[in-house]
Amino acid sequence: MKNRELRQTAMAVVAALALCAVWCFGQSPSSGVARFLAPTGKDFPLAGGNLANQRYSSLTQINRSNLSKLGGAWMIHVAEGQPTSSTAATPVVVDGVMYIGAGHGDVLAVNAATGATVWRFKSTFGNQTNRGVAVAEGKVFSGASGSRLIALNQKTGALLWETKVMDTAAGGRGGGTPGASIYSDGRVFCGVSGGEGGVRGQFGAYDAKTGKELWKFYTVPGPGEFGNDTWEGDSWMHGGGPLWTHVAVDPELGLVYIPVGNASPDQNGSRRGGDNLFTASILALDVKTGAYKWHFQEVHHDLWDYDNPLPPVLADITYKGQPRKILIHGGKTGMTYILDRTNGKPLIGIEERPVPQEPTNKTAKTQPFPIGDSPVPNCPEPGSVAEGSRAACVFGAFRPDDPVVTADGTQGGINWAPVTFSPLTGLFYVPGSLINSKFDAGFGRPPGEPRAGTLSAMDPATNKIVWQVRTKFPLATGSGLLGTASGLLFNGASDGNLVVYDAKDGSVLWKFQTGAGADAPVATYEVNGEQYVAVLAAGNSFQLSSRGDNLWAFKLGGKVPPAPEPEAPPTSQPAGGRGGRGGDPDQPQPGRGRGF
């Protein structure tokens, strides 16, 4: 306990110095390589807050002493009253204007203090999930349907350029671009989704001025490339390796960190023997050239849809008395992987352990298990599996005529809901889900089995749980977490409540009803000396939550009252329907299950 308290004191000093770099010298957290780890302040310029995805704000006006005075400042309907499953974005705020994906492929800019519309970009490209935009160089960068990356005029919303990041000519398979755009030093980073459809994954950097491709890296290597020998025959050609989320960037090291998704075919490994690099991996590339630097594979020869949808988090900590640069990533396995981000080596240790085998699926003989605690249990909870079903822990083997019910399932464990790292406490905070999955020829979630969640505080120097609370609803495919320097954790709950937890112990300090599933990430910012908190309450099919298109902002003294309470999600899995067997509601894939 004493060592942890000393580490937390050291981290608090680091946090204070970082804040001074912002406040004392007027430097923006997003400008310059020395400040990329600094907390957000007045602005919230990226989906992850900063390039390190720490989702931690220096603002303290809203704190434990005055939470009772926090109320609605304004609420608007972003999808013009036509809710859609693609409404899932983080509010991005720059210079008093909020930019957000508004559903149906649209992008909306509003006055962040009043909610008044500044402009709306009406998409002609079609609908796809939008998890966030980036704002820089007088432009708003966003993914768009049809494997596109677009740039809009920051002041008017006019389309400035569009780039097709994947060529789908000549029968090629296309993917979407749902992950939040990330900008750094003149480059916009973008990858493609669609692993279940047999896309060969790719990730690239694009010139912010013109949209021209600067470099491209295929996440499934071809002949002659490092890693191609981990694919049987020509299975690499449609091997998956998609990107469902956004990346992290370390400008000091000159590296971009990519969470690569699942292999394809998803649950059938019979035709793709080998470890199947770089699927289910963290991949580090040179930010200027796209050259390979290192990788760490979290799941060998993935058969369980463990598709790495969580954005990686970067932090500087003290480990065994020495400063270390680390990367934190949570997997749908329910485990957290802590790496040295300079070289990809495990910080604490990750063991290769034997796992159950199924020759027809060509299962890997071993899988990586991090030393420390799993924030989410790695086996089905006692009594959670229906009588007569075969149960197994994570990496349970299966075949179509010998199904298995496992945890962690395809919804996690840990999924796309973002974690937060607090330089004040030195801890990272993880939203998790307790949902079983059944695997046979595909996957599904067995009807009647329980659904719940966990919120865990983890020490990155030990990978141990410091505290944990159980939540009524799953958290891993919902809002995620936002931390502030006042020791608060904000989370949007699937029953419609915006919830504030105490970062010290996970106790609930405050709630406010938004009227729909508050399942998109929370942001905080400052306008005219007032701190605001914003969340998009739109619901989603994986959380089984009520739909809406309610964009809320809160401040001290806000007078907008809570919305009527929506129907709460079930706490046991329904038969079929939302969150059951079936594809992405925006990208239907009949007969398949998927986790994002």
Q: Looking at the annotation, which residues are catalytic? A: 305
Contact assessment for residue 110 and residue 117, using Cβ atoms and an 8 Å cutoff? yes
Nearest to 523 by CA among 23, 42, 28, 188: 42
Contact assessment for residue 517 and residue 496, using Cβ atoms and an 8 Å cutoff? yes
Work out the widest C-alpha separation in the chain, in whole angstroms: 65
Q: Which residues of 372-387 are buried (b: 16+ CB within 10 A; e: fewer)?
A: bbbbbbbbbeeebbee
- Chain centroid to Cα 201, Å, comes to 18
DSSP state of 8: H
Contact assessment for residue 69 and residue 521, using Cβ atoms and an 8 Å cutoff? no
Structure tokens at 522: 């929370």
Cis peptide leading into 413, omega within 30 of 0? yes
**Distance between CA atoms of residues 220 and 239, nearest Å:** 6
Which residue is associated with the tokens 């197994």? 392
Nearest to 404 by CA among 394, 412, 396: 396
Nearest to 93 by CA among 74, 112, 118: 112
Q: Within a 10 A sphere around the Cβ of 403, how many other Cβ atoms? A: 18
Contact assessment for residue 455 and residue 468, using Cβ atoms and an 8 Å cutoff? yes
Structure tokens at 526: 């400052």
**Distance between CA atoms of residues 25 and 493, nearest Å:** 38
